Chain A
Amino acid sequence: MSSSSAFNDEKGGSSSVGEPEYGHDPASGGIFSSDYKRHDDLKEMLDSNKDSLKLEAMKRIVAMIARGKNASDLFPAVVKNVACKNIEVKKLVYVYLVRYAEEQQDLALLSISTFQRGLKDPNQLIRASALRVLSSIRVTIIVPIMMLAIKEAASDMSPYVRKTAAHAIPKLYSLDPEQKDQLIEVIEKLLADKTTLVAGSVVMAFEEVCPERIDLIHKNYRKLCNLLIDVEEWGQVVIINMLTRYARTQFLNPNINESLLEEGSSSDKTFYGSEEDEDDEEEKEKKAEAVAIAKRKPYVMDPDHRLLLRNTKPLLQSRNAAVVMAVAQLYFHLAPKAEVGVIAKALVRLLRSHSEVQYVVLQNVATMTIKRRGMFEPYLKSFYIRSTDPTQIKILKLEVLTNLANETNISTILREFQTYIKSMDKDFVAATIQAIGRCATNIGEVRDTCLNGLVQLLSNRDELVVAESVVVIKKLLQMQPEKHSDIIKHMAKLTDNIQVPMARASILWLIGEYCEHVPKIAPDVLRKMAKSFTNEEDIVKLQIINLAAKLYLTNSKQTKLLTQYVLNLAKYDQNYDIRDRARFIRQLIVPTEKSGALSKYAKKLFLALKPAPVLESPFKDRDHFQLGSLSHLLNAKAGGYQELPDWPEAAPDPSVRNVEVPEWTKCSSREKRKEKKVEKPFYSDSEGESGPTESADSESDSASSSERSSGSSDSGSGSESEESEEASDSEEEEEDEEEKDKKKKKKKKETKKPRQQSESEQTSDEEEKKRERKSKQCKSDSESESEEEESESESSQSESEESESEAEVKKKKAAESKPPPKPVKKESKKEKKEMSLLDLDDFEPAPSPQVTPVNTFLSNSLVTDLEGLSLSDTVLSPATISPSSALKNYELLHRITGEGLSVEYCFSRQPFSPDGNMVAVQMQFTNSATADAKSLHMEDVKLQSGMRVKEFPEIELLPAGETATAVMGIDFCDSTQAANFQLCTHTRKFFVSIQPPVGELMRPVFLTENEFKKEQGQLMGMNEITEKLTLDAKCRNEHSIVQRVTTAVNVSRVPCGSDKECRFAGRTVTSGSLVLITVVTKEEGAAQLTVNCEKMLIGTMLVKDVLLALTQ
């Protein structure tokens, strides 16, 4: 700095106020004087007529700038050449101008007219570069000129110029923030641009100027989603990050029904669960609407939300790490839990990249693993550490490995850690020891193993290793000190050798804290420490005082004098902390006449039970920052960081994203949904066509599209109009619905039973198809959720499922062929009719499409289904089920053993909505005692490995003589092992156990006859068990066979041509293995039972149960 300012003085003070500081460059120190001369010949060269000389001069000047030297005194000479013909000279002049214009504002104005001329040039390249330089000149006087130029360029023909305009917006904004309002107008205009070239740049401008104006995005949301894949990579990153925030404000949390207990459940499980939820919610919606608007809106994924997830997914395959990370964070923040897993593979791939990329990715993975451990578990080995990794990468990988550790993989991880401890990199070794400590606290099973391992490390030669181990052992011992007095003794011995202060302090603290466990050693340690007190580090001294105080309180006979001695030493210590501590402790523990009230409690103060430290990941709770952001990496809010908003309670109106077309003004609000539908193909069109073409094209494109969409208003012809008619039909229907909601609901309920009954025995093919289609729809997650759209299912499905390009082709075809409108109408009517059937289906939980044709049982299960829906919907505030008669009740707690409290349970055969893999167990509590029972809950669940339980919510009060019901979920892991637990009231605890009959471990599935045969064909041999039997006299007709089988086993009937044969199908709840049952009847009550099941054990047990059911 000093030399460069000296240099400026030398030249006669051309330096201005804004002159930046330059570091001293020793290499160039000697040339300053010659530099001065050289500037003269540079000026000469610039003034010459020859382009080659000018070029040479400019090159030398730019080289000076690049090296950070000051070349500002050449400004007038350089600016003269701004209009030079030679394009390279011109470019270099621009470089110079942009660099120094800020310092020489008046002179810079000379060049402005050149750029203004350039803005009108017929060549788009020149227009763009003129705008680029003009906007880069940071001179406030020209703000109005820039504003004008940007506005003009924003409607330029060339998308390249428009892109440049988008880039110019943040430049102008930083120069003069007061222009914000005008700039927002330009941004709004450019956001509507349909070319991929502009999209990234304008979103960037949006983020810099007005990130809070989320409303500007609505209309462009779908376009941005569709263009995304064709935008250049940098633009993709910016758009994805912005859309993540947008989605957080506009859509509902897809994991809203997720319970924390479910963490780590497999993907299809949740998928299954969420499907249930949908139906539940629908059901609830119908009920609630009749009463009042639901407090919590049902979760149905907005199609726009789905669109975003679908369109970003391919970008995980991008070569650009930033794009991959952007998609990964989008999925992490927005996707349903089951879908987040797809990002793991891509992130693991990035670990092969440059070490800086690894560093950032590992930070983010570390945060993700805390929330979603299961996602990265399959890639555990990819996080193994190599000795050549940089230390910071090693430590991050260690963090990830620690987060991934669980009961199943802990042994592998510990073995891996063992090799790390031998590393040469001591920081890394220390981090490994801490990681072991964390594994030990988190996973109880290995605590002892870890502790033993760490104790072995105490004899390690490296002192750092020993010290770190001591610190970690101290934390571990705090959890269960009783068991480990020998370790404490061992550590006491270490005080002779260990010199690391932190380790010494830790040992002393341990001995003091648990001095009862080592009553003989503790005073001796204190004796030694008293001896070396003066030479210890401060933290050690403090702990010596602590130890002395604690010993004084517990064993004052032996240690009274020692304590006095230590306190005296401390009294004259150099450190005031230690002096203070000594004074404080003396007052507290040594009884004097003046001693205050506190000294009575000294023992309580010092020997209070201290909670064991929680070893937590430093990455915990970091996910409140948007992942992948700078703020997340630093764990501190960076300037300009936009908070990731929380999900809204209720979704804002989705119709704001519909693009308005002038002709549509007369549409009533109820048609808006329709509008959405029509747009879809239009967008896929635009995706194909609106590549970066000249604006003329894109304009015509938009024109044609508006024409097309206008077609869907009444007057138009063509495919859309047909669709719209069809739709409006169904819309009317929908409207009806909306109006007569209440009525209908009642009606539906009434009609439901008879209709299903009439359907009984044979399920029409049509219905089957419907079902299939429906389930498919659910899976494709297209806009199938709400009723009215279901009625359009055929068309909407085809759109969503086919790739866009195909959709486009289809559209065109449809337009060409123009089928007569009448059939369509008919069809829609037909659909209307069917719709009510569909609605009926909706009342049933989707995963158990139940087609049991037996009247009594059906109606029964229907009731329970309905109840189940309302129930599983409100798991948090459990509703009650009146146990239906057909379900077998089992006794959990007898009235006598339960001292008046009796508990019965039955398997309600409802899908347990918090977790699809659990069997719902409905419990009925009856309090026949005279006193009220309070706070009924369960405790101390003992399970076989793999089994899980979702406890029923606590029943706070069960008054005498009353009955209450609750539902719990148990994942039996497809075994008939009992789940044991304690049932607690406020006074008593009862040991109880629930053992499921094998028939309750499955849920019904619906198969067609052909599917059944096909599946059966695959489950032959060992998987097939056949038994001959004689049917019970009362049970010789088909009806009763079906009834008995379905009562014993939770399966559904499979349609069958022959009346001599009954078939049933189900799946086990946890593993989803197929279970097929066939009963063939012969003369005289003879029959043959066949069970096909992949799990032989289940098959065998099932045969027994069914035999029993049929023969008795």
Chain B
Amino acid sequence: MIHSLFLINRSGDIFLEKHWKSVISRSVCDYFFEAKEKAVEPEDVPPVLQTPHHYLISIFRGKLFFLSVIQTEIPPLFVIEFLHRVADTMQDYFGECSESVLKDNVVTVYELLEEMLDNGFPLATESNVLKEMIRPPTILRSVVNTLTGGSNVGGTLPTGQLSNIPWRRAGVKYTNNEAYFDVIEEIDAIVDKSGSTVFAEIQGVIEACVRLSGMPDLTLSFMNPRLLDDVSFHPCVRYKRWESERVLSFIPPDGNFILMNYHVSSQNLVAIPVYAKQSISFFETGSCGRLDITIGPKQAMGKTVESLMVRIHMPKAVLSANLTATQGNYTYDLATKVLVWDIGKLNPQKLPNLRGSLTTQAGAPKPEDNPSLNIEFKIQQLAISGLKVSRLDMHGEKYKPFKGVKYLTKAGKFQVRT
């Protein structure tokens, strides 16, 4: 099971360590640093490393490495999933998961880690349970605590631990009872040079923010559940009812959580909201190149495409870019060789265009290939798959909750090859 955890920042300093069994020396991380040196990007560090006596399993999240030390056989995904859960919990508690924040709250972090694992085996990972045991820091509470000597540690056993529904804490009370659901869909696509779609699919997630008193039992139904090809649920969702009636029936956790992830069947044609006309070419002589990109709307279902952004990883040889954008502005980062063109709203009447010249390193051979375009965008009030929530019913409680559903379509891994 998980033996120890080291938190390491990008430059390779260990700033927190926690051992659940006997102490393992920090020097074990040297193997990891070695691998990190070899890797070009932090993402390229192999997640699983073998050392003479230990196995190191690490994740890279928010510029931090979470490195766990393992001594015996354990499913690697078990550890990886747990480490991500740790990172999620930190995010949930402190708003972000960065080195400075974790350092500021080191005691709370330590207490959390202590509760999450016992002898290397996960004990309490549900955020609702943890929050009852260790209250998240707020400014008000920390002031009060310093004055009164109160503590952030709950004195009672979280009831969730003992009930059938460990994800929900008991005795929740709100004056305004509300339940919001965000249906967020991401389009993953690969578009080839000629503009035809090589591969496209829609991945969706329903994020919920439920603040309801007592023990509400919710039922969420869709107009067109047949669209959903593959789903994964929060443990609260009753699988049997989904199987038989295609409705989501659940007692929600308190607060924010991800209700379900889904995948829209690939048989349905995926509407691609934008297209890109591009030509990027490098000249054989003169160490320069030309770039011309135009973005236009394709099938946006009558909605405006917002937050449009184009990101291009340029070949190493490109030194600078001298471009003019008809809309938005661009930046070229010399260190990472990434060209970012932030367009904003897409105006169908006047298509945004970026053109100009690129300077390449003198003497270097002409770059072999053309870089691909990564496009980001958002479309509000639209689920591109056409998924619609038809109703939300509540049983078990008397009051009338306030309900809301929001739709959003985003570009996921949306790539245009050139």
Question: Which of B121, B155, B163, B266 has the most C-beta atoms of chain A within 10 angstroms of its own C-beta?
Answer: B121
Among B24, B41, B157, point to the contact of A390 (Cβ < 8 A). Answer: B41
Complex CA gap A641/B75 in Å reads 10
A332-387 with Cβ < 8 A to chain B: 345-346, 348-349, 352, 354-357, 359-361, 381-382, 384, 386-387
A62-B107 contact, Cβ under 8 Å, with A349-B261, A634-B48: yes
- Whether A1038 sits at the interface, judged by CB under 8 Å, is no
- Whether A91 sits at the interface, judged by CB under 8 Å, is yes
- How close is B100's CB to chain A, nearest CB, in angstroms? 14
- Whether B224 sits at the interface, judged by CB under 8 Å, is no
Looking across the interface, which residue of chain A has its beta carbon closest to that of B21? A174
Complex CA gap A407/B106 in Å reads 58
Contact A86 B151 (CB under 8 A): yes
- Whether B43 sits at the interface, judged by CB under 8 Å, is yes
Contact A349 B263 (CB under 8 A): yes
Contact B75 A639 (CB under 8 A): no
Complex CA gap A629/B263 in Å reads 27
Number of B positions contacting A (CB below 8 A): 102
Question: Which of A25, A388, A628, A641 has the most C-beta atoms of chain B within 10 angstroms of its own C-beta?
Answer: A388
Q: Which of chain B's residues have a CB closer than 8 A to the CB of A346?
A: 230, 232
B349-368 with Cβ < 8 A to chain A: 365, 367-368
- How close is A805's CB to chain B, nearest CB, in angstroms? 8
Contact B164 A691 (CB under 8 A): yes
Contact with B along A678-704 (1 / 0, CB 8 A): 000000000000011000000000000
Among B15, B84, B163, B198, point to the contact of A692 (Cβ < 8 A). Answer: B163
Complex CA gap A540/B178 in Å reads 75
Contact B239 A229 (CB under 8 A): yes
Complex CA gap A628/B73 in Å reads 11
Contact A356 B73 (CB under 8 A): no
- Whether A124 sits at the interface, judged by CB under 8 Å, is yes
- Whether A803 sits at the interface, judged by CB under 8 Å, is yes
- How close is B247's CB to chain A, nearest CB, in angstroms? 15
Among A355, A424, A640, point to the contact of B316 (Cβ < 8 A). Answer: A424
- Whether A1054 sits at the interface, judged by CB under 8 Å, is no
Complex CA gap A95/B111 in Å reads 8
Among B77, B111, B152, B188, point to the contact of A628 (Cβ < 8 A). Answer: B77
- Whether A837 sits at the interface, judged by CB under 8 Å, is no
- How close is A197's CB to chain B, nearest CB, in angstroms? 7
Contact B415 A88 (CB under 8 A): no
Among B22, B190, B232, point to the contact of A102 (Cβ < 8 A). Answer: B22
Among A67, A319, A322, A345, point to the contact of B106 (Cβ < 8 A). Answer: A67
Contact B149 A55 (CB under 8 A): yes
The stretch among A232-240, A561-569, A934-942, A952-960 that forms the contact with chain B is A232-240
Interface residues on A, range: 35 or more
Contact B77 A357 (CB under 8 A): yes
The stretch among B327-335, B369-377, B390-398 that forms the contact with chain A is B369-377
A23-B19 contact, Cβ under 8 Å, with A160-B157, A233-B235, A638-B55: no
- Whether B233 sits at the interface, judged by CB under 8 Å, is yes
Complex CA gap A135/B121 in Å reads 14
Complex CA gap A78/B41 in Å reads 44
Q: Which of chain B's residues have a CB closer than 8 A to the CB of A629?
A: 73, 75-76
Among B16, B74, B149, B367, point to the contact of A630 (Cβ < 8 A). Answer: B74
Contact with A along B340-353 (1 / 0, CB 8 A): 00000000000000
- Whether B137 sits at the interface, judged by CB under 8 Å, is no
B220-249 with Cβ < 8 A to chain A: 229-235, 239-240, 243
A319-B153 contact, Cβ under 8 Å, with A91-B111, A692-B164: no
- Whether B99 sits at the interface, judged by CB under 8 Å, is no
Among B77, B153, B233, B313, point to the contact of A322 (Cβ < 8 A). Answer: B77
Among A91, A164, A237, A638, point to the contact of B73 (Cβ < 8 A). Answer: A638
Q: Which of chain A's residues have a CB closer than 8 A to the CB of B201?
A: 382
A322-B22 contact, Cβ under 8 Å, with A230-B164, A345-B230: no
Complex CA gap A419/B107 in Å reads 51
Complex CA gap A345/B203 in Å reads 13
Contact B119 A170 (CB under 8 A): yes
- Whether B175 sits at the interface, judged by CB under 8 Å, is no
Q: Which of chain A's residues have a CB closer than 8 A to the CB of B415?
A: 386-388
Q: Which of chain B's residues have a CB closer than 8 A to the CB of A382?
A: 199, 201
Q: Which of chain B's residues have a CB closer than 8 A to the CB of A384?
A: 190, 198-199
- Whether A392 sits at the interface, judged by CB under 8 Å, is yes
A10-43 with Cβ < 8 A to chain B: 20-23, 25, 27
Question: Which of A324, A349, A416, A641 has the most C-beta atoms of chain B within 10 angstroms of its own C-beta?
Answer: A349
Complex CA gap A356/B85 in Å reads 13
- How close is A44's CB to chain B, nearest CB, in angstroms? 17
Contact B162 A68 (CB under 8 A): no
A803-B240 contact, Cβ under 8 Å, with A63-B106, A384-B199: yes
Complex CA gap A352/B164 in Å reads 30
Q: Which of chain A's residues have a CB closer than 8 A to the CB of B258?
A: 319
Question: Which of A27, A416, A639 has the most C-beta atoms of chain B within 10 angstroms of its own C-beta?
Answer: A639
Contact B23 A20 (CB under 8 A): yes
Complex CA gap A819/B235 in Å reads 40
Q: Which of chain A's residues have a CB closer than 8 A to the CB of B243?
A: 314
Complex CA gap A320/B234 in Å reads 9
- Whether B413 sits at the interface, judged by CB under 8 Å, is yes
Q: Which of chain B's residues have a CB closer than 8 A to the CB of A168?
A: 119
Among B121, B229, B235, B368, point to the contact of A319 (Cβ < 8 A). Answer: B235
- Whether B92 sits at the interface, judged by CB under 8 Å, is no
Complex CA gap A171/B367 in Å reads 59
Q: Which of chain B's residues have a CB closer than 8 A to the CB of A167?
A: 118-119, 121, 123
- Whether B184 sits at the interface, judged by CB under 8 Å, is no
- How close is A745's CB to chain B, nearest CB, in angstroms? 44
A630-B119 contact, Cβ under 8 Å, with A67-B15, A88-B151: no
- Whether A882 sits at the interface, judged by CB under 8 Å, is no
- How close is A46's CB to chain B, nearest CB, in angstroms? 15
Contact B106 A66 (CB under 8 A): yes
Contact B80 A357 (CB under 8 A): yes
Contact B43 A21 (CB under 8 A): no
- Whether B47 sits at the interface, judged by CB under 8 Å, is yes
Q: Which of chain A's residues have a CB closer than 8 A to the CB of B406?
A: none
Q: Which of chain A's residues have a CB closer than 8 A to the CB of B72?
A: 638-641
- How close is B101's CB to chain A, nearest CB, in angstroms? 14
Q: Which of chain A's residues have a CB closer than 8 A to the CB of B76?
A: 360, 628-630, 633
Contact A317 B232 (CB under 8 A): yes
Contact B156 A125 (CB under 8 A): yes
Q: Which of chain A's residues have a CB closer than 8 A to the CB of B41?
A: 390
Q: Which of chain A's residues have a CB closer than 8 A to the CB of B44?
A: 390-392
Contact A318 B233 (CB under 8 A): yes
- How close is A251's CB to chain B, nearest CB, in angstroms? 22
Q: Which of chain A's residues have a CB closer than 8 A to the CB of B47?
A: 355-356, 359-360
Contact A462 B203 (CB under 8 A): no
A321-B81 contact, Cβ under 8 Å, with A52-B149, A62-B107: yes
- How close is A645's CB to chain B, nearest CB, in angstroms? 15
Complex CA gap A99/B4 in Å reads 12
Contact A68 B17 (CB under 8 A): yes
CB within 8 Å of A: which residues of B? 1, 13-19, 21-27, 29, 40-41, 43-44, 46-48, 50, 55, 58-61, 70-78, 80-82, 84, 106-107, 109-111, 114, 118-119, 121-123, 125, 146, 149, 151-153, 155-157, 161-164, 166, 188, 190, 192, 198-199, 201, 203, 229-235, 239-240, 243, 258, 261, 263, 266, 313, 315-316, 365, 367-372, 374, 413, 415, 417
Q: Can you list 18 residue pairs at the A/B interface with Cβ under 8 Å?
A: A1-B27, A23-B27, A55-B151, A63-B110, A67-B15, A91-B111, A234-B121, A319-B233, A349-B261, A355-B47, A356-B60, A360-B76, A387-B372, A388-B313, A392-B44, A424-B316, A631-B73, A803-B240
6 nearest A-B pairs in the assembled complex, by CB-CB distance = A640-B72, A88-B151, A52-B149, A125-B157, A422-B369, A356-B47
Having A55-B151, A630-B55, A630-B76, one finds 12 other A-B pairs with CB under 8 Å, namely A66-B106, A91-B111, A92-B111, A125-B156, A167-B123, A174-B21, A208-B1, A230-B164, A234-B82, A349-B232, A359-B48, A640-B71
